[in-house]
Structure 1
Amino acid sequence: MAYQIDLKTFTDDRGHLTVIEKVIPFDVRRIFYIYGVDGSTRGGHRHHQTVQAAICLKGSCAIYNQDGTNERVFELNSPDQCLILEPKDWHQMFDFSEDAILMVLASEYFDATDYIYEPYFIHDPLRELTASQ
């Protein structure tokens, strides 16, 4: 299951300095960032091999995660929070604030064959609500 780590941050009168050193559990081979999202949902996949670290550098977003057994929504709203996504973690990024910048560090170079788009199960809160009545 995905998990959050706190990034070491130094603060003084001049501002904040956040360090990403010896905390990411893989060698970084790819870096990309998502911004200017128009209300769309991004992601919607998991991987065969790639591990990712997601950091919302500015603004906020939410990341829905399911690993075949558990599901959870993670809120990222501070640049000193980092969400580690294992290859088995099917995820969707959504609810981006207008100013959001989500940076992702990846353990592998882009490879289209590494992506698995089918979720483990379909999360449908309305179906769950109706079934419980």
Structure 2
Amino acid sequence: MSKLIQLTTHSSAKGDLTVFEKILPGEIKRAFYIYNVASVSQQRAMHGHRKESNALIAVSGKCRIFVTNGKEESYFYLTMPSECLVIEPGDWHIIDEFSKETILLVLSNETYDPSDYFFDRP
């Protein structure tokens, strides 16, 4: 099941530096970000992956993620750039409640493969 983790952040008078390392299995093979979402009620994702793991970070703004694997379900709220939601293979998710300034960074340990997606909620 997906889990919310706190990323290591180094703060100083110069600003904050947040580190992302050794979070996903394997290496990061793809990165993309979601922004300029039309409205707070807009839903994104509505799918899961068979093999792929994802790490979601709201580098700006905030959003909510609903996750289920068919046995467990949870809501997660990303409100700080030091929070990271790791979505495991087999977890189906919906992303919504985007604030206007949200930039959601998604890191993946796989390249894009349409056959890895499933759309039916478990």
**Percentage of identical aligned residues:** 39
Corresponding residue of 2:7: 7
1:45 matches 2:42: no
Counterpart residue number, 2:56: 54
The residue matched to 1:10 in structure 2 has which SS?
Answer: strand
Q: Do the aligned residues in 1 keep the contact of 2:24 with 2:109 (CA within 8 Å)?
A: no
Gaps of 5+ in 1: 121-133
Aligned residues: 120
Q: Which residue of 2 aligns with 1:102?
A: 104
Root-mean-square deviation (CA, aligned residues, Å) is: 0.9
Unaligned runs of at least 5 residues, structure 2: none
Query: Which protein has greater RCO, CA pairs closer than 8 Å, 6+ apart?
Result: 2
Alignment partner, residue 36 of structure 2: 36
The one-letter code matched in structure 2 to 1:27 is E
Larger Rg, first or second structure (1 or 2): 1
CA distance in 1, matches of 2:62, 2:22: 25
- Larger mean CA deviation between 81-90 and 19-28 belongs to 19-28
Q: Which residue is 1:89 aligned to?
A: 91
Q: Calculate the TM-score normalised by the size of structure 2.
A: 0.95
Match of 2:72 among 52, 59, 70: 70
Contact 1:26 1:51 in 2 (8 A): no
Contact 2:56 2:85 in 1 (8 A): yes
Equivalents in 1 of 2:22, 2:118: separation in Å? 29
Tell me if structure 1 keeps the 8 A contact 2:57–2:85. yes
